[in-house]
Structure 1
Amino acid sequence: MRRFFDHQLLVRVLTTLTIILGVNYMVWRWLFSVNWSNAWISVPLVLVETYSLIDCFLFGVTMWRLRERPAPPAPPEGLSVDVFITTYNEPIDLVMTTALAASRIRYPHNTWILDDGGRPAVQQAAEKAGIGYITRSSEWENRPRHAKAGNLNNALAATHGQFLLILDADQIPEPEILDRLLGHFNNEKVALVQTPQWFYNVNDTDILGSQAPLFYGPIQQGKDGWNAAFFCGSNALIRREALMQVGITWYVHGVRTTVGQTLKGGDRIIARARAEHAATGQHVTRALEDVRLAVRTARKELREDRPVGAVTYNFQRKVDAAAQTIVTADLKSIHADLDEIQQLTGLTSPTEALITRDVVERLARRDWSPMAAIGPVRRMIRALDVDRADEAIPVMPMATNSVTEDMATCMRLHSHGWESVYHHEILAKGLAPEDLKTMITQRLRWAQGTMQVFLRENPLLQKGLSAGQRLMYFSTMWSYLSGFAAVVYLVAPILFLCFGVLPVAAFSLDFFARLIPFLVVNQLLFFVAARGRKTWRGQQYSLALFPVWIKACTTAAANVLFGRSLGFAVTPKTRQDGGPPWFLIRPQLIAIAALIVAAVTGLVRMLIGVGAPAGTLVNVAWVAYDLVILSVIIRAALYKGFTPTDDRDENNEI
């Protein structure tokens, strides 16, 4: 315990020093070293340096309250647990291996295969093994499916367990997993317990950066200290009560938002109807005015937090009354026309007049029924759908606003006062991507989902979250903006070495005296926080995947702002055939070539007396570092898949 507190103290000291030195450097950069004559590159450079300082600050805040939890108590008997194994198109043998392992979990439970592919062969295999099988019902046809979130929501509606253990199709659980995790729920405020995702098909080199020891370690432990440990989509145990509470709350929120947006356009709809039907009579004008007042009353009641069901019911009654006013007036007009026809034709009754061809043609020449004036309002009423008929299930406990349901769901749990736990023990082992294409597909989906949540439910603006929780969620979202920063970091030395464009006023002693201590202490913070874990691969990919991060940000923004589809790409569980996918890393290859050319050009220019030697050497060193970082992407493209070795650690310690 004392070692932990000594380590925590050292982390806090290094965090403080990092922030002090970083602020000192950035203040000097902004005030004294921006080369305003080349502002088109010098300003972007100082901006991305500021971005990096904020990133360091957020990492330091995460590490400030790093939490190492003791083992939980033994779970009580009699709890009901459903084990969910989500699958779509994974090989049946793989799914059944996980399902059979789940059926052998020691604590009493029910095991379910959630087959989003609806495959009869999977159903037969599950039934043969005595394992539950759930797939989508007919209610989902021609309605949004919401990918994995929809699959889980469908299963939630079909089961009743108090707790849900969620596993991906490849994540094979240990028999003791429930015995190790259920004790955390003795705290009735705990909604979620997340464990690490660990992969048994990864060599020590981990060339695709799958194990993420920094995230499934210090970062999750740091977030846990702020009660913000994330749900990561698999290897997690969740309290059903918490999910259902959040689902119902967000159902109401969603309905209220939809009703509010629909009513917001009411004045425009009514104004158009009045203009189009101005000549139909005073009764139509009065009815539309009544509807306009009903719209404004409903919007006022929504702002006052009146029950949305009562608001829509009252609004619909008022529109119905307005429609009846129009119908009554219209019927009187029709009767008057029929009486006139009766007198002209000499028929004995208006009813007889209705059956003659001449009379029908005469009535057909009348102005269109004034009921058309209220047609758009009728359509607006149908849009006020509190039953969410457009969805297969009205209440969706798992968030459906993102291609990754985990972060949004967890943030909603936290905003409702629930707590989460990060349990730092490997209790399930899965399959990592074995080729670059699959890895990029996976990382892109993660980043897109995170940015969707950022744009739709910005944690800095969410009610119910503590300041620490806001920062913990924001820090993960903020990190995916690094793709744009990477472009500037790559371009700046190229411009200097090739064209002599200086992005800083001078590479002076002041520059080095401020930058170098900041970089050294910052790297020391990473080293100490990691406690010997291998974090270099993660640092490489944070830069090397810059095109993926940029694509994630732009496509997520297009989806949220303009409704463009993202789709949902299931991560393949087997290696994809084909040679090295060079086309996938074309931007990185271009960057590598440009950096090499820049280094050679810069050195030649220095040797012939063009350019400052200090600036050239600094930028060549900068280029060399970038090349070392980017080299991982070439090795990843050449990676031929997993080869078992005997030197991997097979125990459950990380």
Structure 2
Amino acid sequence: MSESRLVTVRVLATLLVAFGLAYVGWRWTGTVAWHAWWIAVPLVVAETYSLGESVLFGLTMWNARRRPSPPPAREGLAVDVYIATYNEPLELVARTALAARDMTYPHETYVLDDGDRPEFARMAAALGVGYVTRGPEWDGRARFAKAGNVNNALFRTTGDFIAILDADQVPEPRFLDRVLGYFEDETIAFVQTPQQFWNVPDDDPLGSRAELFYGPIQQGKDGWGAAFFCGSNAVLRREALMALGLTRFSQEATGRLRTALRGARSRVQDLEGRLAVRAPSALPVAEEALAAIRRAEGRVRHGDVLGEVTYALRQEIHAATLAHPDIDLPEDVTAELDDVVEHVEVVRTDQALAIQPMETSTITEDMATAMHLHAMGWSSAYHHEVLVLGLAPDDVGTMLSQRHRWATGSMQVFFSDNPLAVKGLTLAQRLMYLGTMTSYLAGFSALVYLAAPVVFLLTGVFPLVADPVAFALRFVPFFVCCQAMFLVAGAGSRGLWRGQQMSFALFPTWIAATLSGAAAVFLGRHVSFAVTSKTGTDGADGWRHVRTQVVLMVLLGLAAVIGVVRAAAGDASVTATAVTLVWIAVDLAMLWVVVGAARYRGFTGPDPTAPASSELDAALVLATADDGPAASRPLP
């Protein structure tokens, strides 16, 4: 962003805050129709939420930065390139693997096949790239989808830097050369580059372009030290990931040990009670064991090394049973103490890997991992250059499934690991993460913005008590500043209007995702990781995915007709009706995007990522042949 544009954005952001506070303050103090509180209060709450989101957007843009080119990549860095796949087509993954293998900076390429498919192993062998799948230690245990796939590979490869690509993300040969130079700064944990898709037509019916996010927004977050890791098209420092995994393992192990020690103390106290009745002579052994457990709890509170704490506890309890040779300990007492020692074990885990570098508690592992890396003091960089071309969803059902997964994972983090409470983040970083998470609450405000005009036109209940001129004088400047800042900040980015439409029209998806995230955190409901289909799912039945929006569009149209009739008959205020009809028109313009999305039947243009490669063709033939090579590089 140029200096002059940045100044303009800051001026508009300042005006937005001033006009917004004046408008919302006026709304709360003098215009709420309390006699119709059931619609009036939700409306003013929705407007207050919209102001908050606008302020967070303005704050993000306030410090937008476009980094200068990094220094050239230093020679001799050890780089592993991971291509994560689960159920994608063979040819798609092979194309990405070939392009990744041929990147110019020296590196190792690995296909991480979570589907454990023999033909993929043969394809990797034919292309001369590595092949990694899960080992038997994962059988019967939580797999954690893509995060588990990457974590598994981290313990089977050795590169100091890890480039992660989704199965459909085809990199340019210079990808690594352009980003590795950032890591000369030893505090950089990861570098993120834009995600751009080749199969999106000019009218972008599914709203797949994210040029505002992969541009001004990421640059703004980068300016505040909070550029996001987005799961693909990024390079990460292994040291940072492993440090995060070890830190979180230590925190979780400490929690497990505290719980185990509390349980041990309770069991030994119960044992004391039983011994006092049937074997009083054995009480000194139980008392010494209880004292040892209390000492262990004190050491944990003081931050002693957990392994040393458990080792000392085992030794002390064992010594207690030997310190009184004159006492004939009942066998069940000895067994009880042995069982106590057995359960107080710091490394005990039911997971395949004790250390999970990539965050596994949410299906948006990328954002959660980035947040905790920032909390540890690591920094990040956003490199604003398209170096990878990917494949966007090609039908409305797949698009909605993808957006629902993103939103659900974000709301999981919002409810369980809210950035406002994460230690180590700066205030600006907290707000950058918060702004992304709370954006999905827009589903509830959109529902209110749709319901309020319908209520008035059908019933005559207006949620505002205000003079129309006074309303316009306060609302219009706020609204104009919001739109102007959005347009200036996103100047040069395509799809701005489509992005606004999708943010509003997908309100059922946002509401469902918010409820799913809350249920996962507060009710323990399982949230599955739905891999984005690369082959489409809808055929000609896209309308079923947007039936809620279509029904609402019909309802809005009927309400407009009824409202006009009521105003003409003198049963409703003409001015209020006119204002509400404009409101209806805006709602319809926002919802109309689902019509194009439902009718879209997929991209039919050329594929610029398709290589004219006899090597790829030969690899695919070998991969599908029963007698093809079995594996490229056997990894443990």
TM-score > 0.5, shorter chain as reference: yes
Structure-2 residue corresponding to 1:641: 602
Task: Tell me, yes or no, if the aligned pair for 1:75 and 1:182 is still in contact at 8 Å.
Answer: yes
Aligned to 1:210: 208
1:466-493 deviations in whole A, cap 9, x for unaligned? 1111111111011111112222222111
* 1:451-470 superposed matches below 5 A: 451-470=411-430
| 1:102–1:175 Cα contact (<8 Å) kept | yes
Other structure's SS at 1:192 match: strand
SS in 2 for 1:481: helix
Q: Which residue of 2 aligns with 1:493?
A: 453
Instruction: Please name the residue that 1:351 is paired with.
Output: none
Corresponding position: 1:599 with 2:597: no
Instruction: Report the CA distance shift for 1:549/1:139 in structure 2 as closer, same or farther (over 3 A).
Output: same
Alpha-carbon shift at residue 317 of structure 1 (Å): 4.3
Q: Which residue of 1 aligns with 2:32?
A: 34
The alpha carbon displacement at 1:585 in A equals 2.6
Match of 1:360 in 2: none
Post-superposition CA distance 1:264-310 (Å, at most 9, x none): 55666566667788744435766665555555444433332222223
**Equivalent position SS for 1:637:** helix
Greater relative contact order structure (CA < 8 Å, 6+ sep): 2
The letter for the 1-side match of 2:362 is: S
How many residues are matched? 607
- What is residue 627 of structure 2 aligned with on the other side? none
Match of 1:77 among 75, 78, 83: 75
Partner residue of 1:427 out of 387, 393, 413: 387
Question: What is the Cα deviation at residue 9 of structure 1?
Answer: 0.5
Cα deviation for residue 593 of structure 1 reads 2.7
Q: How does 1:290-369 map to 2 (within 5 A)?
A: 293-318=291-316, 320=318, 331=329, 369=332
CA drift of 1:538 comes to 1.1
Are 1:400 and 2:360 counterparts? Answer: yes
Pair 1:134–1:500, CA change in 2 (3 A)? same
Shift of 1:224: 0.6
Q: State TM-score, norm by structure 1.
A: 0.88
**Unpaired segments ≥5 residues, structure 2:** 609-636
- Any conservation in 2 of the 1:280–1:370 contact (CA below 8 Å)? no
* CA shift in 2, pair 1:281/1:590, >3 Å: farther
- 1:585 correspondence with 2:583: no
Does the C-alpha gap of structure 1 residues 82 and 551 become closer, same or farther in structure 2, counting only changes over 3 Å? same
* Ranges in structure 1 where 5+ consecutive residues have no aligned partner: 335-368, 648-654
Q: Distance in 1 between matches of 2:304 and 2:118?
A: 48
Tell me how far 1:67 sits from its aligned partner.
0.4
For residue 66 of structure 1, report the CA deviation from its aligned partner: 0.4
Kindly indicate whether the alpha-carbon contact (under 8 Å) linking 1:283 and 1:326 is maintained by their aligned counterparts in 2.
no
Q: Within 5 Å, which residues of 2 pair with 1:382-401?
A: 382-401=342-361
Q: Distance in 2 between matches of 1:645 and 1:84?
A: 27
Q: Distance in 1 between matches of 2:276 and 2:556?
A: 70
Determine the C-alpha separation between the residues in 2 that align with 1:321 and 1:483: 62
Residue of structure 2 in register with 1:556 after alignment: 517
Asked whether the equivalents of residues 149 and 398 of structure 1 are also in contact (C-alpha less than 8 Å), the reply is yes
Whether contact under 8 Å (2:543, 2:599) holds in the other structure is no
What's the secondary structure of 2:162's corresponding residue?
A: strand
Cα deviation for residue 257 of structure 1 reads: 2.2
Q: Give the structure 2 partner of residue 472 of structure 1.
A: 432
Change in 2 beyond 3 A, CA 1:248/1:328? farther
**Does residue 612 of structure 1 match 2:573?**
yes
2:101 corresponds to which of 92, 103, 118: 103
2:590 is the counterpart of 1:629: yes
Percentage of matched positions with identical amino acids: 49
Give the C-alpha shift of residue 256 in structure 1.
1.3
Contact (CA 8 Å) 1:326, 1:370: kept in 2 or not? no
Alignment CA distance shift 1:382-1:529 (3 Å): farther
Deviations 1:15-41 (A, max 9, x none): 000011001111111111112222222
Deviates more, 1:110-119 or 1:586-595: 586-595
- Classify 1:264/1:548 alpha carbon distance in 2 versus 1 (closer, same or farther; 3 Å): farther
Confirm or deny: 8 A CA contact 1:507 1:615 kept in the other structure. Answer: no
Q: Residues 193 and 236 of structure 1 are in contact (CA less than 8 Å); yes or no, is this contact kept in structure 2? A: yes
State the shift of 1:457 in Å.
2.0
Once the two structures are TM-superposed, the CA of residue 258 in structure 1 deviates from its matched residue by 2.3
For residues 328 and 573 of structure 1, the distance between their equivalents in structure 2, rounded to whole angstroms, comes to 74
Cα distance in 1 for partners of 2:541, 2:144 equals 33
Task: Name the residue aligned to 1:442.
Answer: 402
Q: Is the 8 A contact 2:396 2:542 kept in 1?
A: yes
C-alpha distance in 1 between matches for 2:404 and 2:181: 35
Structure 1 SS opposite 2:235:
strand
Equivalent in the alignment of 1:151: 149
Instruction: Report the Cα distance in structure 2 between the residues aligned to 1:457 and 1:200, rounded to whole angstroms.
Output: 35
Given the superposition, is the C-alpha separation of residues 31 and 413 from structure 1 closer, same or farther in structure 2, using an over 3 Å criterion? same
Kept in 1, the 8 Å contact 2:397–2:538? The answer is: no
Contact 1:81 1:161 in 2 (8 A): yes
Matched, 1:56 2:54: yes
Distance 1:440 1:288, change over 3 A: farther
**Following TM superposition, by how much is the alpha carbon of 1:219 offset from its aligned partner in structure 2, in angstroms?**
0.3
Report the counterpart of residue 258 of structure 1 in structure 2. 256
SS at match of 2:164: strand
Alignment of 1:171-210 (within 5 A): 171-210=169-208
Q: 2:126 is matched with which residue?
A: 128
- Root mean square deviation of aligned Cα: 2.5
User: What CA deviation, in whole Å up to 9, does each residue of 1:371-398 have, x standing for no partner?
Assistant: 68x48x936x555442244122222111
Deviates more, 1:265-274 or 1:483-492: 265-274
**How far off its partner does 1:645 sit?**
7.3
Matches within 5 A, 1:501-520: 501-520=461-480
Contact 2:395 2:538 in 1 (8 A): no
Give the stretch that moved more between structures: 584-593 or 76-85: 584-593
**Alpha-carbon distance in structure 1 between the residues aligned to 2:11 and 2:529:** 43
- Pair 1:582–1:383, CA change in 2 (3 A): farther
Separation (CA, whole Å) in 2 of partners of 1:132 and 1:430? 22
Counterpart of 1:541 in structure 2 is 502
**Contact map agreement 2:407 2:440 (CA 8 A) in 1:** yes
Distance 1:264 1:473, change over 3 A: farther
Q: Is the CA contact (8 Å cut-off) linking 1:283 and 1:325 kept in structure 2?
A: no
The Cα of 1:326 is off from its aligned counterpart by: 11
Give the greater-gyration-radius structure (CA). Answer: 1
Question: Scaled by the length of structure 2, what TM-score is found?
Answer: 0.90
Provide the rounded CA distance (Å) in 2 between the counterparts of 1:129 and 1:70.
36
